[in-house]
Amino acid sequence: MQDNKNMRIVIVGGGSAGWMTAAALSHILPNANHHLTLVESSAIGTVSVGEATIPGIREFNQMLGIDEAEFLGFTKGTFKLGIAFHDWYQKGQRYMHPFGPYGVNMQGVPFHHYWLKDKIKGHETPIQDFCLEYTAALNNKFCHPQRQSRSALANLKYAYHFDALLYAEFLKKFATGHGVNHIEADVKLVHQHNNGSISSVSLSNGQQINGDLFIDCSGFKGLLIAKTLGVEFDDWREYLPCDSAIAQPSESLLHLAPYTISRAHEHGWQWQIPLQHRMGNGFVYSSDFLPKDIAVAKLAKRLPSKALEQARQLKWTNGKRKMAWKANCVAIGLAAGFIEPLESTGLQLIQSAIMRLLALFPDKSIVDIGEGENADIRTFNRYTNEEFLAIRDFVILHYKANQRDDSEFWQYCQHMAIPDSLKAKMELYEQSGHVFRDNNELFNEISWFSVMNGQGLRPKRYHPLVENMPEEQRVKNLKSIAGAMQEAMLQMPDHGDYLKQFCKSPS
Ligand SMILES: Cc1cc2nc3c(=O)[nH]c(=O)nc-3n(C[C@H](O)[C@H](O)[C@H](O)COP(=O)(O)OP(=O)(O)OC[C@H]3O[C@@H](n4cnc5c(N)ncnc54)[C@H](O)[C@@H]3O)c2cc1C
């Protein structure tokens, strides 16, 4: 008999991962059968970054029934149409990874092949002319998708920037409003059954919390998954050498850009995330190539506006746990792994782990599994691994395909070994302009094309079926697509004005 009654779920950690998990579980699981407790330590605190997102976050908020204007007002958020990469391929060169597509596929052939024909012939039209999100971002424009429109405005793809602390706060209100028992205390001891499953945690306030399922959202250290259950870590520092960041917010700028800026420097890169009340800034670098005090000084010199707080350092190792689910413990968030923030994937990894957990949700018999495995656990771990690996490759691409010669750091990246899976994708594109999306991978062909093209990869040829279209027709089609994008962009209001009218945050 299945035993689903009175299942006790204990979440350890109250960062974005803990509160996203608590909000989703409290919303989806019937209260009568599930008792949710979240324990967080105010002394330890959270990483409090994670302010740029990708479009999937909207589905998460929609699943919870969150009102978008209220959410953006509370978190002092802005809209995001993509990421602008400055100086990555070479100094002075820029490109964007937009969230929306370029043009339309014709004769079953992806649009970029029709564009590549011009590029290979040496008279290219700027690629941004064919993508509404790209051209709108460059012109500081934003509006919601206009579902009735017959233009690209109908399906505009967007995400958010928001204050990470306020997002956790927002979700805390939501989760506690849905019955989550919130305890502020430190977990001092973790107790296990004889079979290795976790039975309870002892807290600094003297309480002991028993559970059937434990969710480890305790951050990098992985209090339950690593420190208690001993799950090892796959370390990817040889491919992703940046292991540190200096974060320092500054005053907001007059114009709110609807995109994140990632600007490459001699020893790493700097993020710029526009929020309503401040600019989020950070400098990501490798501690093998740059000491902390110089990193702090470099960021201070390059802040776009006056600093609002002291700089603080964050440290990590890129990689993931070998298993994110072991026994009756599921690790979500930084406890499960981390890939540096270049493509804003941290919160997305949390969201997909939550959805995967809900899809494979156990009953109380999970406690009996002990150190063993079952098909649900294996499936969860397999898909988690695949997701991490695909994102890892995508992020490595930005570093590997650079032509900068101004520092040892960029030279290292150019010459470092890369995973075979990435090598195969780069070879395919360089040989024939083809881009293939593997199974469930997060980033689609458009994302891969954006970055491969932006990072200077040049295919030798384009799809042969492009030649089936008379040249005159091809040129006419490209012109008409660019014209339609321009027309749609001109209908969009200024991003800052739109925000003011849609969701000005309460002062
Ligand atoms: C430099 C940097 C930039 C980033 N930028 C982005 C971005 O732009 N976009 C994005 O999507 N993601 C980004 N991320 C990732 C994102 O910040 C994280 O995925 C997200 O914040 C989740 O963190 P977490 O909740 O797992 O861990 P944390 O925020 O570290 O929270 C851990 C929680 O566990 C609690 N805890 C720990 N030990 C105990 C204990 N013994 N007892 C009780 N409680 C305990 C802590 O108090 C805390 O509440 C970035 C990360 C870094 C490092």
Instruction: Show which of 372, 390, 415 is a domain's final residue.
Output: 372
Whether the CB of 268 sits within 6 Å of ligand 1: no
DSSP assignment string, 2-68: ---TTEEEEEE--SHHHHHHHHHHHHHS-TTTEEEEEEE-TTT-------B--THHHHHHHHTT--H
Residue 224 maps to a domain: yes
Task: Show the beta-strand stretches assigned E in 156-278.
Answer: 159-161, 181-184, 187-192, 198-203, 208-210, 213-216, 233-235, 244-247, 260-265, 268-274
Return the half-sphere exposure (C-beta side, CA atoms, 13 A cut-off) of residue 35. Answer: 10
Which of these is catalytic: 76, 80, 157, 320?
Answer: 80
CA of 15 to the centre of ligand 1 (A): 5
CA of 166 to the centre of ligand 1 (A): 13
Residue nearest to atom 16 of ligand 1 (CA): 50
Structural domain containing residue 190 = 7-51+163-234+318-372
Residues 181 and 225 in one domain: yes
Probe target for ligand 1 pocket from 167, 347, 351, with the most ligand atoms within 8 Å of CB: 347
For residue 490, the surrounding DSSP H or E stretch is helix 471-490
pTM for this entry: 0.97
Residue 61 maps to a domain: no
Q: Which of 197, 168, 240 is closest to 422 using CA atoms?
A: 240
> Looking at the 3D structure of the chain, how many domains does it have?
2
Residues 428 and 477 in one domain: yes
Which pairs count as long-range contacts for 468-472, CB under 8 Å and 24+ apart, including other chains? 468/107, 469/106, 469/107, 469/114
Residues 6+ apart with CB under 8 A from 187: 12, 39, 41, 201, 202, 203, 204, 218, 223
Residues 507 and 413 in one domain: yes
Residues 492 and 412 in one domain: yes
Residue nearest to atom 4 of ligand 1 (CA): 50
Atom of ligand 1 at shortest range from CA of 335 = 26
Count Cβ atoms below 10 Å from residue 351 Cβ, excluding itself: 24
| Catalytic residue check, 141 | no
Instruction: Give pLDDT tens digits along the chain (507 positions).
Output: 566 778 999 999 999 999 999 999 999 997 778 999 999 999 998 998 879 999 999 999 999 999 999 999 999 999 999 999 999 999 999 999 999 999 999 999 999 999 999 988 887 789 999 999 999 999 999 999 999 888 899 999 999 999 999 999 999 999 999 999 999 999 999 999 999 999 999 999 999 999 999 999 999 999 999 999 999 999 999 999 999 999 999 999 988 999 999 999 999 999 999 999 999 999 999 999 999 999 999 999 999 999 999 999 999 999 999 999 999 999 999 999 999 999 999 999 999 999 999 999 999 999 999 988 899 999 999 999 999 999 999 999 999 999 998 999 999 999 999 999 999 999 999 999 999 998 889 999 999 999 999 999 999 999 999 999 999 999 999 999 999 999 999 999 999 999 999 986 655
Residues 485 and 496 in one domain: yes
Whether the CB of 83 sits within 6 Å of ligand 1: no
CA of 240 to the centre of ligand 1 (A): 19
Q: What value does the CA radius of gyration of the chain take, rounded to a whole number of Å?
A: 24
CA of 150 to the centre of ligand 1 (A): 41
Return the half-sphere exposure (C-beta side, CA atoms, 13 A cut-off) of residue 41. Answer: 16
DSSP assignment string, 260-293: EEEEEETTEEEEEEE-SS-EEEEEEE-TTTS-HH
Whether the CB of 53 sits within 6 Å of ligand 1: yes
**Degrees, nearest 5: CA angle 437-441-445:** 35
Residue 346 is part of a domain; what is its CATH number? Answer: 3.50.50.60
Residues 6+ apart with CB under 8 A from 313: 244, 245, 246, 247, 292, 295, 296
Whether the CB of 159 sits within 6 Å of ligand 1: no
* 3-state DSSP assignment of residue 78: strand
Residue nearest to atom 15 of ligand 1 (CA): 346
